[in-house]
Amino acid sequence: MSTILDQIVQHKRQEVEDRKSLVPVKLLENSIYFPSQPISLRKYLQRPDLSGIIAEFKRKSPSMGVINAYAPVERTSIGYMQAGASALSVLTDTQFFGGKSEDLTTARKFNLCPILRKDFVIDEYQILEAKSIGADAILLIAAILTKEEVERLGQFAHSLGLEVLLEVHDRQELENSLTPHVDLIGVNNRNLKDFTVSIETSKELASLIPNDFVKVTESGLSKAENLVELRQYGFEGFLIGEAFMRTSRPEKACLALVEEVKKLTSSQSVSA
Ligand SMILES: O=P(O)(O)OC[C@@H](O)[C@@H](O)c1c[nH]c2ccccc12
């Protein structure tokens, strides 16, 4: 049976071929963002003055349908960063997530912070595209790539100065795709094949991730308690979309969570 992930990848292959013939690489390389120095996601996640939250802009998803059709990228992205997020993640897939490249470029224009291009990368062309729209980091998803592809695409991203977040959701994917060509490992708590969510996945895989990689926990996070607990497992990045985007003012939901985490951590350090 074909999973949603198979369908997304199948669609993406066609989409990438279409874009290649529409926008030649030369044009991507002419973008004003091409020569710019990317901002390090790794470094921002390790800054003690920030929350570690990678706040995501996501209009819809295959599991939820429409999440938020109205929030503007500009206000939301600025608000996320003012709330204390460490970085932004912007979905650029149109067909399944309702995003577009322009969303990322809009976020880029208004924010001086690392921006992750969230898409289904299967081809070098998409990495050139990420650079041309102003992204600092790309996502590689182990579930849709072979180890050789992760290495090749990771190396290519590095050659452009982009950082690489590799997403895994089980032990096999993790062990199969570890390579120095990635910078951060993201454990997806959502199984992209059947959409079930469990933060136990992050807890189980945490100790298997070598310390050279920054650990990121992704999906299904909405409670301050979970963030505080997962930090104890070594996670420094917390990728959150739906919990913010399902509200009418995502940036306010982000601020509320940041404050709740602060309150929890200060009360824990007082009682310790
Ligand atoms: O909205 P959530 O449950 O907070 O999850 C955010 C992010 O982890 C999720 O959007 C995501 C994780 N990996 C992906 C790969 C492709 C598209 C989307 C994703």
Over the chain, what is the mean pLDDT? 96
Cα–Cα distance, 128 to 220 (Å, whole number): 30
pLDDT at residue 269, as a whole number = 72
pLDDT at residue 3, as a whole number = 87
pTM over 0.95: yes
Cα–Cα distance, 129 to 119 (Å, whole number): 11
Mutation choice for ligand 1 from 11, 170, 218, CB with most ligand atoms inside 8 A? 218
54 lines ligand 1 (CB under 6 A): no
98 lines ligand 1 (CB under 6 A): no
Which domains can be identified in the chain, with CATH numbers? 4-271 (3.20.20.70)
30 Cβ contact partners less than 8 Å away, ≥ 6 residues apart: none
Q: b vs e for 25-47, b when ≥16 Cβ sit within 10 Å of the residue's Cβ? A: eeebeebebeeeebbbbbebbee
Please give the number of the atom of ligand 1 that sits closest to the Cα of 197.
3
12 lines ligand 1 (CB under 6 A): no
Report whether pLDDT(272) > 60.
Answer: no
Which sequence positions are flagged as catalytic?
Answer: 56, 58, 118, 167, 188, 218-219
Question: Where does residue 146 rank: exposed (0-12), middle (13-18), buried (19+ CB within 10 A)?
Answer: exposed
